């Protein structure tokens, strides 16, 4: 009887230890982007250093969408972003960019993981250094008829919705809209950042009219200025709101 008692006691300890081990292995095996998605709003405490952080989408081996004639999203959005930076800097704003050349943003990441996860993490950390952020992309759709710009903002964020409306108001003066209102999204990591961040799709590379506009540097300048004016208008409102 005594022997059996000892065996039962030991095996209970083993089961307990084994359960803890399994739990630890499970936690460590979770992709790091999972941790980030859950914890990020609390753990990123980078001080704000700039008025604006601009994130041109994609870059490096990630070309993003491709339009007819080998038009790469990464190139179109970088040029708009650089024009936007110049527009804002001339007006006295301090601006940082997640990239200024044809590279990805993995070097800014604080996590291990796939190239894509590190790239996204780098952008996410970077936008926290701005009072506001903006990520610029171009779309591709199966239907060649799909066209126009889209502004995405963080779902359920009142201030981000105002930011989105303010930028859209300027954008619709110079470009067709795919959707008449900004679209709320809850599943885009970049929009979950603490500062107000928008993701602007400047049009569809898969649409002939949008593509013809977007390959024209004059139109990209017009777009950059419209987005920039919207951002300045929002920043004026936002600073007033924060100081009250």
Footprint on this chain of Zn ion (rule: CB under 5 A):
57, 64, 137
Measured from each CB, the residue nearest to Zn ion is 137
Contact 63, 77 (CB under 8 A): no
DSSP-derived 3-state class of residue 69: coil
- CB 184 → Zn ion: shortest distance, Å? 18
- CB 56 → Zn ion: shortest distance, Å? 10
Q: Give CA separation, 8 vs 18, 71, 117, in Å.
A: 15, 69, 46
| Of residues 72 and 234, the one with the C-beta less far from Zn ion | 72
DSSP-derived 3-state class of residue 199: strand
Max CA pair span of the chain: 90
Q: Beta-carbon neighbour count of residue 94 at 10 Å?
A: 13
User: DSSP strand E in 92-204: where?
Assistant: 95-97, 130-139, 150-154, 183-185, 197-204
Contact 219, 76 (CB under 8 A): no
Quick one: CA dihedral 90, 153, 189, 131, positive or negative?
positive
- CB 200 → Zn ion: shortest distance, Å? 10
For residues 193 and 191, what is the distance between their CA atoms, to the nearest angstrom? 5
- CB 188 → Zn ion: shortest distance, Å? 11
- CB 19 → Zn ion: shortest distance, Å? 43
| Of residues 119 and 129, the one with the C-beta less far from Zn ion | 119
Contact 53, 196 (CB under 8 A): no
Contact 78, 97 (CB under 8 A): no
| Of residues 99 and 137, the one with the C-beta less far from Zn ion | 137
| Of residues 124 and 238, the one with the C-beta less far from Zn ion | 124
- CB 140 → Zn ion: shortest distance, Å? 8
| Of residues 57 and 113, the one with the C-beta less far from Zn ion | 57
| Of residues 3 and 142, the one with the C-beta less far from Zn ion | 142
């Amino acid at each position: 009887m005594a022997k059996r008692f000892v065996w039962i006691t030991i095996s209970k300890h083993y089961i307990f230890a084994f359960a803890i081990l399994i739990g630890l292995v499970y936690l460590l095996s979770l992709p790091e982007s999972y941790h980030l998605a859950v914890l990020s709003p609390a753990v990123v405490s980078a001080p704000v250093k700039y008025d604006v952080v601009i994130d041109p989408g994609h870059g490096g081996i990630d070309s993003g969408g491709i339009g007819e004639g080998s038009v790469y999203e990464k190139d179109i959005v970088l040029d708009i972003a650089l024009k936007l930076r110049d527009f804002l800097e001339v007006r006295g704003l301090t601006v940082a960019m997640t990239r200024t050349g044809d590279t990805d943003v993995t070097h800014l990441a604080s996590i291990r993981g796939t190239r894509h996860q590190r790239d996204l993490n780098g952008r996410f950390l970077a936008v926290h250094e701005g009072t506001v952020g903006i990520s610029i992309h171009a779309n591709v759709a199966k239907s060649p008829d799909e066209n126009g710009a889209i502004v995405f903002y963080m779902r359920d964020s009142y201030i981000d919705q105002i930011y989105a409306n303010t930028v859209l108001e300027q954008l619709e003066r110079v470009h067709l809209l795919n959707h008449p209102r900004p679209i709320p999204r809850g599943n885009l990591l970049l929009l979950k950042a603490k500062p107000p961040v928008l993701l602007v799709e400047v049009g569809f590379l898969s649409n002939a009219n949008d593509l013809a506009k977007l390959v024209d540097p004059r139109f990209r300048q017009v777009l950059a200025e419209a987005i920039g004016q919207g951002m300045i208008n929002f920043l004026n409102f936002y600073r007033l709101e924060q100081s009250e």
